[in-house]
Amino acid sequence: MDVPGLFSDLFFDYTLRTIALGSAILGIVSGALGSYAVLRKQSLLGDAMSHAALPGIALAFLLTGSKMPLVLIVGAAAAGWVATLFIMSIVNTTRVKYDTALGMVLSVFFGLGLVLLTIIQKRPDATQAGLDKFLFGQAAALLERDVVTMGILGVSAILITMLLWKEFKLLSFDPDFASTLGFPVRILDIILTTLIVIAIVLGLQTVGVVLMSAMIVAPAASARQWTDNLGIMIILSAFFGALAGISGALLSASVPRLPTGPTIVVSVSVIVIVSMLLAPRRGILWRWWRERRQRGRLRLEGILEDLYSLALEHNDPGHAHSLSVLRLMSAGKGGVEKSLEILSERGLVRAVRPGEWALTTAGLEEAEKTMSERSGMSDER
């Protein structure tokens, strides 16, 4: 692939520029609003909303005969809302559980959408072409007017989140507290859900209804690994979303027969995997490395302690003890010899004779220090 050429095309080629802009907007908006969905344990609600958008799109087209992005977006958003309403009322009034309501509404709405889509496809006028691109998305088909619509909606959604920053934060982390403070929690909930519906609907043309949910969950789940701060999380999540959106859309536009939605999902999944492995403090590799280091330190301290307690028995810090005794005292944990070598490199122990070890003066001090630190810690508790 001609990478420099691709970059110059990014700015000067109409199609590529449109695609990149559209996917960037999609990534930013879904990343930012997805953060709230993930924090509020509504990750899979996005899945239901995006599937449910299909009958909305089809119905909007059937009723108006128009394929204007705004018309279809309104239809999709309305259907997404109805689906959410159904889920909530089923969960609130019956004993049917959340996951069941979610899965059922998702698949039934999608089925309804397929019925409407096949009805549309069999109509005599050939105007229906292109509605099925909503299944998996087709970035290459984005037009400038689509991107303008996306931009206006996306910017307004983000502006509203910024205006209601404090309220949404409270709603996400402690809704009960928010309601005791007198915030209109129900209305805020409705506004936030509507914004999430908008974020989903924006991506339908690019990513498609089947996979749009991943764009809500994945950037936010990645960003969550790197920070504990909501503001930073949202900015990071928007950045990850944009990165995945642009790279996926450009790849799919430049490689033949590479569907856009799945490509974007694969690139966002790569970001998730990298984040879960490498993120400082939370990442899997990071935790593994820290545990390893701690285990090593504990082992060294243990041997120092053993030597110290032996020295106390003999009233002579310089008294040498054989390796086998130390092995016995470390309760079969192994690695005694290697730990002794590390300790002697640090000048804390010395080999009096081969296989017999004693504390040095520095080692004695060190052992006393760790022992007192440890007992100090247990005193504090």
Partner 1 sequence: MSGEQIEIQVIASIVAVACALPGVFLVLRRMAMMSDAISHAILLGIVLAFFLVGDISSPLLIIGAALSGVLTVSLVELVNKTGLVREDASIGLVFPLLFSIGVILISRYAYNIHIDIDAVLLGELAFAPFDRLFIYGRDLGPASIYVMGVILLLNLAFILVFYKELKVATFDTGLAAALGFTPGLIHYGLMGLVSVTAVGAFNAVGSILVVALMIAPPAAAYLLTDRLPRMIILSALIGVLSAVSGFWSAILLDANIAGSMASISGLIFLVVFLLAPERGLAAIARRRRRQKREFAGRVLVIHLLNHEGTPEESRESEVGHIEETLRWKEGFAKSVVGYSVKRGMVLTENGRLRLTEKGREFAGRSVVEEFIP
What are the residues binding partner 1 (CB under 8 A)? 38, 41-44, 46-47, 51, 90, 93-97, 99-119, 122, 132, 135-136, 210-211, 213-214, 216-218, 221, 224-225, 257-259, 261-263, 265-266, 269, 272, 276, 282, 284
* Closest among 146, 158, 157, 261 to 215, alpha carbons compared: 261
- Please state the closest distance from residue 133 (CB atom) to partner 1, in A: 11
Nearer Cβ to partner 1, position 210 or 343? 210
- Please state the closest distance from residue 70 (CB atom) to partner 1, in A: 26
Number of H helices, E strands in the chain: 17, 3
Give the C-alpha separation, 227 to 241, whole Å: 16
- Please state the closest distance from residue 170 (CB atom) to partner 1, in A: 20
Nearer Cβ to partner 1, position 225 or 339? 225
- Please state the closest distance from residue 183 (CB atom) to partner 1, in A: 24
Nearer Cβ to partner 1, position 142 or 214? 214
Give the C-alpha separation, 274 to 270, whole Å: 6
316 φ, ψ (degrees, to nearest 5): -150, 105
- Please state the closest distance from residue 176 (CB atom) to partner 1, in A: 19
Residue type, 302: G
Give the C-alpha separation, 334 to 127, whole Å: 75
Given strand 349-353, what is the order of strands in its sheet? 321-322, 356-359, 349-353
Contact call for residues 81 and 139 (beta carbons, < 8 A): no
Structure tokens at 36: 């709230």
DSSP 228: S
Structure tokens at 187: 């209305």
- Please state the closest distance from residue 337 (CB atom) to partner 1, in A: 35
Give the C-alpha separation, 148 to 19, whole Å: 12
